[in-house]
Chains A and B, each alone.
Chain A
């Protein structure tokens, strides 16, 4: 039975065009427990690793997906006759800010980059790497931005928590005057959050902020 389950799961993975999660599989095989399914996935992953194939079973965007190893990229690109995914440095920086600061306003991104980001946000929206999470209720009703599941898929991330941790900024934060100021800023942030129109994912929000050192808030 176990072997059977593993092969059914493999068939799902082979056919799927997106990462599939333990929950997805449970939905198609309600008679199997989540832990059995997880075990089957892990066994499959180990088997493919030990077989030294050109691809591996990877955990991305809260799911599992077969992906080729990077050393075959030049060959696969020949077959696909496409140019690889390319993002400008400006776009990557903007994306990094959205990822760590979400839910975030354009105004905050522009404060951090000191340049207009309207065009870049549009590009990132078109590429489906960021999404509009809602609007603030204060005048101007600015849009709130966050990252998408596609962002996790493209950058090989299991979830938002697996983003690289932010380093503490050296030199700041120890100064007393400084921490008083950042506390003031934090209170302001809380006030703004209270006015938020959308019920944004609280879990995501709080965990996203955990990455930020106090001096960054």
Chain B
């Protein structure tokens, strides 16, 4: 096949397909599947030859296209109910075009801090609300160290072994969120102030990891080696 492949960066397989459909000036409701599939595969080859890592998403679409192409080659069953095999890509393409258009419309709006500006929170207020001291991120290992220190302090001589918990992680998660909803900002050790048994400590810790993971809580530590602090990362009426 003799046609020019111009390399563009496509966000994904649907982008590439739309590009090919536009370039060939074909009707999206009547895609010449053989031509488009060949061009699509050729494009992937070019990407490979240029050592561009072809994402798995592109390969999934390639196999879908080949599958449709093979279905189209089968003698047509005279069944009116049978749907056009090409709908498997036409529908996603149409949906994708719709959201691409909406994305364009969103971008054309008067975007805050790009087109229009409003009063900013003053630096003075911001530092009051946040912290007096610069903060650094805390990693999992620091968090585990802090946890170990608290357990050593509060339950000396107890070995860290997982037991069947009286508390569920879900309950503790809800407890942490409700505390943070009121206080917004607490010390790491405060989390464990009500805990009595080692299993309770562990469940609280697991619940903390959960709320950090889903992004409801940020953990920080003042640079000058203070105690780790938890900041609520949701609005009072959310979460």
A65 contacts B94, CB within 8 Å? no
Q: With contacts A149-B235, A169-B94, A177-B83 known, what are 4 further pairs, Cβ within 8 A?
A: A68-B116, A70-B115, A115-B14, A156-B111
B114 contacts A85, CB within 8 Å? yes
Q: Is A25 an interface residue (CB 8 A)?
A: no
Q: Is A59 an interface residue (CB 8 A)?
A: no
From known contacts A132-B214, A153-B112, infer whether A114 and B117 are also in contact, taking CB-CB under 8 Å: no
Q: Is A5 an interface residue (CB 8 A)?
A: no
Cβ-closest chain A residue relative to B14: A114
Q: Is B109 an interface residue (CB 8 A)?
A: yes
Instruction: Kindly identify which residue among A66, A116, A125, A135 contacts B57, using a CB–CB cutoff of 8 Å.
Output: A116
Instruction: Tell me the smallest distance from the CB of B139 to a CB of chain A, in Å.
Output: 17
Chain A residues within an 8 Å CB radius of B125: 17
Chain B 97-139 interface mask (CB, 8 Å, partner A; 1/0): 0111111111101111111111111100100000000000000
Instruction: Tell me the smallest distance from the CB of A88 to a CB of chain B, in Å.
Output: 8
Q: Is A84 an interface residue (CB 8 A)?
A: yes
Instruction: Kindly identify which residue among A58, A85, A93, A166 contacts B113, using a CB–CB cutoff of 8 Å.
Output: A85
A86 contacts B114, CB within 8 Å? yes
Q: Is B71 an interface residue (CB 8 A)?
A: no
Instruction: Tell me the smallest distance from the CB of B61 to a CB of chain A, in Å.
Output: 6
Q: Is B55 an interface residue (CB 8 A)?
A: yes
B116 contacts A84, CB within 8 Å? no
Q: Give Cα distance in the complex from A40 to B168, angstroms.
A: 51
Chain B residues within an 8 Å CB radius of A29: none
B57 contacts A155, CB within 8 Å? no
Instruction: Tell me the smallest distance from the CB of B166 to a CB of chain A, in Å.
Output: 22
Interface stretch of the complex, out of A31-39, A41-49, A94-102, A186-194? A94-102
A68 contacts B94, CB within 8 Å? no
A92 contacts B110, CB within 8 Å? no
Chain B residues within an 8 Å CB radius of A84: 111, 113-115
From known contacts A17-B119, A85-B111, A156-B109, infer whether A115 and B215 are also in contact, taking CB-CB under 8 Å: no
Q: Is A69 an interface residue (CB 8 A)?
A: yes
Q: Give Cα distance in the complex from A93 to B234, angstroms.
A: 24
Q: Is B81 an interface residue (CB 8 A)?
A: yes
Q: Is A7 an interface residue (CB 8 A)?
A: no
Q: Is A183 an interface residue (CB 8 A)?
A: no
B114 contacts A73, CB within 8 Å? yes
Q: Is B92 an interface residue (CB 8 A)?
A: yes
Cβ-closest chain A residue relative to B95: A112
Q: Is A105 an interface residue (CB 8 A)?
A: no
A115 contacts B12, CB within 8 Å? yes
A-B contact pairs, 6 of them (CB 8 A): A68-B116, A73-B114, A84-B114, A93-B103, A114-B13, A155-B111
Instruction: Tell me the smallest distance from the CB of B97 to a CB of chain A, in Å.
Output: 9
